[in-house]
């Protein structure tokens, strides 16, 4: 079992604080054009300074693959570890369906 990494995109922010201010429109453009491309089964965003929940909710139906941000994955895990198994709306498929 393993993963094939199809593409990696770095944002080249000047500082860790700048990451939180990356415009959602830029992230959407990157997702559409460079990450959610043919042959990709999912998009994984690693980096806690940039929330992907709103973007995942909007773009997953359009691009047809799950978009999992590390913050959403951590929240999902914490909820499941503490017995909560219900859905959460508005933050992508992971929190809504699994």
CATH topology of domain 16-97: Rossmann fold (3.40.50)
What pTM did the predictor assign? 0.86
What residues are paired with 92 via a beta bridge? none
pLDDT score of 36 more than 90: no
Q: What residues have CB less than 8 Å from 34, skipping those under 6 apart?
A: 7, 9
Residue-wise pLDDT tens digits, 44-94: 999 889 989 999 999 999 999 999 999 999 999 999 999 999 999 999 999
Compute the average pLDDT of residues 23-49.
91
What is the H or E stretch that residue 28 is in? helix 24-30
The domain spans of the chain are 16-97
Q: What is the rounded distance in angstroms from the CA atom of residue 59 to the CA atom of residue 35?
A: 12
What residues are paired with 68 via a beta bridge? 44
pLDDT at 1: 65
């Amino acid at each position: 079992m393993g993963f094939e990494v199809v593409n990696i995109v770095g944002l080249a922010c000047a500082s860790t604080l700048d990451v939180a201010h990356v415009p959602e429109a830029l992230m959407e453009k990157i997702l559409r054009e460079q990450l959610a491309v043919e042959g990709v089964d999912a998009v994984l965003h690693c980096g806690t300074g940039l929330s992907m929940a709103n973007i995942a909710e909007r773009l997953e139906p359009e691009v047809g693959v799950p978009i999992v941000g590390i913050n959403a994955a951590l929240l999902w895990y914490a909820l499941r570890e503490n017995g909560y198994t219900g859905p959460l709306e508005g933050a992508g498929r992971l929190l809504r369906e699994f």
